[in-house]
Amino acid sequence: MTRPVILTVDDDPGVSRAVARDLRREYGEHHRIVRAESGPAALEALREIALRGEQVAVILADQRMPRMTGVEFLERAMDLFPRARRVLLTAYADTDAAITAINVVDLDHYLLKPWDPPEEKLYPVVDALLAAWREAPDRPAASIRIVGHRWSSRSYELRDLVARNQLAYEFLRVDEPEGARLLEAAGVGADRLPVVVTADGQALVEPSDGEVVAAAGLATSATQAVYDLVVVGGGPAGLGASVYGGSEGLRTVLVESRATGGQAGTSSRIENYLGFPNGVSGDQLTTRARLQAEKFGTEVITTRTVTALEPRGRARVVRFDDGTEITAHAVVLATGVSYRMLDCPGLDEHTGQGVFYGAAATEASACANQDVYVVGGANSAGQAAMNFSRHARRVVMLVRGPSLEASMSSYLIDQIRANPRIEVRTCTEVVGASGTDHLEKLTLRDRNSGDEETVEASWLFVFIGAAPRTDWLEGVVARDGRGFVLTGSDLPRRPEEKGPPGWEPERDPFHLETSVPGVFAVGDVRAESVKRVASAVGEGAMAVSLVHRWLENG
């Protein structure tokens, strides 16, 4: 196996040699050190590395280069090796450029010159970046190939499924030669799309989600009938509960209906999560958390939909949509929320055909040099707008309210205002959409004047609030009027009673406990919860300590 590359670029030959020397001395045994003395030369080196099928782990670039600045180089390098860790070498006077680069090119770190002694200032940084890269390395050559129509909703769903599960894939259009050849080789007609071809050459025709992830080697069924803890939902709260459940010796299984990470997993950048001063992408955070949970023995099963929860004495039974079930001593509900659908003519028929709910990271590169419309004024919409601005010609944010301040973090508002590619239109809503096989036009209305206009648009991404996924809990656990699960002191009760109606234990419900003893709710699905990644992870961890109290004392 070839050694991963560490590339350094600096237009000063002396500095370039010094950086390469220090890197070679510490990392040369296990990594190939490549140096260049200009941005164009470094890009050419990266292209040759890509053609040879090698991987790039870390890129260090000087900011002040005459033909191409370090930020400009890193932005282009991302297209070739998007998962390589990026470091900017700066002088003290360039710190503003470094901070800007954090937002423009997802910079992982910036180093002030000089970096001597490297044992204190250089090596610890590179060590951390290499460790992070090894946890989520560049995707290898595609192991899954999907053949379908460009604007097919089902083709999009499969691309999103495999991407969010961190599976290497390639999408081939049926109207292109390579896609047509693969269909012919599989003996499948173009009227039976999409087709998924696995690494071993098996052709799955119009497959279900479960068939695709199972063929890729992911678990889709539990290995045991009884567990200490079942966690339903794989967002930050569910992953937090899974990590702590597994690390504290509980036989734990995490059940996720689509892909771990939840809405946070689709975020292009989470910048206010503790311990990541330069931010972290949702998929990076999700991948690390899932690996951590599995390291502690937690089973993770995907593409399984839970349809019922049933108390049986001290046991808690979770039933799936295929009629099978597993039993646990305790259950943590972490099902999160789903984006609300935008209700206006023409949108439903174009969902997945230019209209997307959530960030739809698989579509970002396809928006290159086009206009993108984003509906919503909260953090998720702002993060998506920043991500799409790296590819699109223009990003237009459509906000129903008069400003962003009411629902978006101030740091994100500042980034949006400083981004020349993002336009914010307040007091504006979408009232119509049209197109043939995909979205082509949007009708927008000014909420103050009532004036309408029609604009050409092929891309619309919607972030308009969320609804809890709790219909399957009807009649089992207490919920509020909007469907969020009630817990702890928020549960209805009479003053003289310990808990809600039907409550059996001789104690008050624990803080995160639902109206069913031994069943806990965490994260966005819980009524009155703080809708932030950090609080969701914290609730997941806290729930496990309460599970122990339930198991020990009832």
Token representation of residue 502:
């039907």
Rounded distance between C-alpha atoms, residue 406 and residue 401, angstroms: 8
Q: How far is CA 271 from CA 123, 276, 282, in A?
A: 24, 7, 10
Q: Does residue 36 sit in the same domain as residue 129?
A: yes
Question: Which among 313, 335, 338 is positioned nearest to 231, based on CA atoms?
Answer: 335
Q: State the greatest distance between any 2 C-alpha atoms of the chain, in Å, as a whole number.
A: 80
Q: Does residue 478 sit in the same domain as residue 458?
A: no
Q: What domain range includes position 390?
A: 348-464
Dihedrals phi, psi of 99, to nearest 5 degrees: -65, -40
Q: How far is CA 157 from CA 207, 345, 519, in A?
A: 11, 22, 32
Peptide bond into 492 cis (omega under 30): no
Q: Does residue 331 sit in the same domain as residue 361?
A: no
Rounded distance between C-alpha atoms, residue 229 and residue 227, angstroms: 5
Residue where a domain terminates, one of 135, 156, 180: 135
For residue 432, being part of any structural domain is answered with yes
Q: Does residue 275 sit in the same domain as residue 388?
A: no
For residue 343, being part of any structural domain is answered with no
Q: Does residue 164 sit in the same domain as residue 245?
A: no
Question: Which among 206, 336, 364, 325 is positioned nearest to 258, based on CA atoms?
Answer: 336
CB 342 within 8 A of CB 374: no
Q: Does residue 15 sit in the same domain as residue 114?
A: yes
Report how many domains make up the chain.
Answer: 4
Q: Does residue 520 sit in the same domain as residue 544?
A: yes
For residue 221, being part of any structural domain is answered with no
CB 265 within 8 A of CB 320: no
Q: Does residue 369 sit in the same domain as residue 436?
A: yes
Q: pLDDT by residue for the chain (554 residues), tens digit each?
A: 578 999 999 988 888 899 999 999 999 999 999 999 999 999 999 988 876 778 899 999 988 888 788 888 888 888 778 888 998 887 755 556 555 555 555 677 878 777 888 888 899 999 989 988 887 654 444 578 899 998 888 998 999 898 888 787 889 999 988 888 888 888 888 889 999 988 778 899 999 999 999 988 899 999 999 999 999 999 999 999 999 999 999 999 999 998 888 877 777 677 778 877 767 777 778 888 998 999 999 999 999 999 999 999 999 999 999 999 999 999 999 999 887 888 889 898 899 899 998 877 677 778 888 999 999 999 889 989 998 998 899 999 999 999 999 889 999 999 999 999 999 999 999 999 999 989 999 999 999 999 999 999 999 999 987 789 899 999 999 999 999 999 999 998 877 777 788 898 989 999 999 999 999 999 999 998 988 899 999 999 999 999 999 999 87
Would you call 202 helix, strand, or coil by DSSP?
A: coil
Rounded distance between C-alpha atoms, residue 535 and residue 280, angstroms: 16
Rounded distance between C-alpha atoms, residue 295 and residue 301, angstroms: 15
- Counting DSSP H helices and E strands in the chain, the numbers are 14, 26
CB 514 within 8 A of CB 487: yes
Instruction: Report the CATH number at residue 188.
Output: 3.40.30.10
Would you call 439 helix, strand, or coil by DSSP?
A: coil
Supply the pTM of this predicted model.
0.74
Residue where a domain terminates, one of 108, 135, 162: 135
Instruction: Report the CATH number at residue 99.
Output: 3.40.50.2300
Q: Does residue 15 sit in the same domain as residue 129?
A: yes
Strands 325-333 and 226-232: parallel
